[in-house]
Amino acid sequence: MIAPYRRLLSIPRAWRFSLAGFILRLPISMLYLSLALFIVDETGSYSLAGALSMASAVVVSIASPLWSRTADRIGQRKVLKLTVPIHIVFLALFIALVKWGAPTLVWFPVALIFEGAVIGAGQMVRRRWRHAIGDDKNLIDTAYAYEALVEEFVFTFGPVIATLAAALISPTASLITALCFVAIGATLFLREKSTEPPVLPGVESRHGKLLISEKSFRAFFLPMMFCGATFSSTGLFIVGYVDAYGERNLSGFLVAIWSIGSGVAAFITGAITWKRNANFRFVFSVIAFFIVTIPMAIAAHFFRGNLTAMAIALFINGLAIAPMLTAGFTAAESAVDTSRATEALAWGISALSLGGALPTAITGYIIDKSGAAVAANIPLIASTLAVVALVAYHRHWRERLSPLHA
C-alpha cells in the first residue's frame, strides 16, 4: 500500500518542497479558527467573526486565481516575494488595530488586504508535482492524494496549535504563531529553486478568458463551491457548538478529529490504482459527502451537548472530504491545457473559499440568535446544494463519466 508513496518521494527534492508547502499551509488551517477565537474574545460576537470570514473568503476567492495566473507567467518565487511581506505586515496591523480599540469599519479593509495577499501553497505544490512527474496519471493521482493527506495533517495540527496557543497564552498569541509559520514556510519554499515549474510567459496572451467563463469548468466549480460552503460553515459551527456547552478550548480538537477522518481516506485513496476516471470519482464523492453530513446534523439536534457523538459524526464526515478533493482537482486539471494547470487548481481553491463566504456569515448570525444546534442545518443545506449543482450539469457529467475521459 505504501509502494506508490515511496516511488513518489523518491523524486529528487520532492520531500523538501512538500515539507515547505506543509509549513506554509499551516497558517491557513490556523487563521480561520484563530481569527474566530480572537474576534469572539475581543467582542463576544460570532456575527462579527462570521462577517469578517465572509469578506475575507470573497477576497481570497478572487485574488488566489489571479496570483496563480501570475505565478504561471512570472514564476512562483517572484509572486511569493511580493505577497508574503504584504500578508505579514497587514495581519500584524490588523491585530494591533483590534487590540487598540480601533473602529470596526477600519478592521475590514486591513483584513481584506492581508487575505488578498494569500496565494495558496497547495496549488503551487501540486503544480510542482505535475512538473516533476510528467504524464504518469497514476502517479499524479498518488501525488494529489498525498497532498490531500498532507493537508489533512495541516488541518489536524493547525487547529490544535491555534487552540493550545489561545488557551495557554491568549487568542492574540494564536494569530502571532500563525504569522511565524508563514515566515518560516515561505523562507523554506523560496529556497527550492530547482523544482520550480518553468515560467510560461505566453499564458496571458494565449488565454484571454478566465476559466470560470467556460461552461465545462463551471460544472466543476459550482459543486466545489457548495462543498466549500459546507467546510466553512462546519468550521464556525464547531467553535460555536463547543462554546455553547462551556468547552471552547476543545474546538481545535474536534476540528482535528474531523481532519483525521479525511486523512485516513486520503492515505487509502493515494494507495489505490483507480480504474474509474477522476470525473466519476468526483461525482460519487460529492454525493457521498452529502450523505455523511447528515450524522452531524443528527448529533447536533438529538444528542445536544454530547461531544463524543459530535466527534464521531465529524470523523465520518471527514472520510468523504479527501477523496472528493483529490478527484476534483485531478478532474479540473485534466480538463485544461498544461499552461493553465495552476489557474485551474487555484479556481478549485477559490470555489472552496467563495462558497464559504455567505454561509459562514449566516452560521455566525444563527449561532448568536438561535444557538449552535440550529446552525448545524447550514452545512447540511450546503452539501445538498452541491448535489443539486451536479444535477444542473448532468449532461456534462454524463459525457465525462465514460472511460474515454480518464
pLDDT tens-digit series, residues 145-172: 788 778 767 776 777 788 788 878 888 9
Domain ranges of the chain: 9-192+211-405
Amino acid (1-letter code) at residue 227: C
3-class SS shares of the chain: helix, strand, coil, % to 5: 85, 0, 15
Q: Taking the domain 9-192+211-405, which CATH number applies? A: 1.20.1250.20
How high is the mean pLDDT of the chain? 83
- Rounded CA-CA distance 66/62 in Å is 7
Band of residue 1 on the pLDDT scale cut at 50, 70, 90: low
- Per-residue pLDDT of 90-105, as tens digits, reads 999 999 999 998 898 8
Residue 314's nearest CA partner among 224, 235, 223 is 235
Contact at 8 Å (CB) between 39 and 52? yes
> What pLDDT score was predicted for residue 404?
43
Using a pLDDT cut of 70, give the percent of the chain over it.
Answer: 89
Report d(CA 29, CA 18) in Å as an integer: 16
**Which residues have a Cβ under 8 Å from the Cβ of 208 and sit 6 or more positions away?**
none
Helical H segments across 207-277, by residue range: 215-244, 251-271
pLDDT category, 52, cuts 50, 70, 90?
Answer: confident
pLDDT tens digits along 36-45 = 888 888 888 8
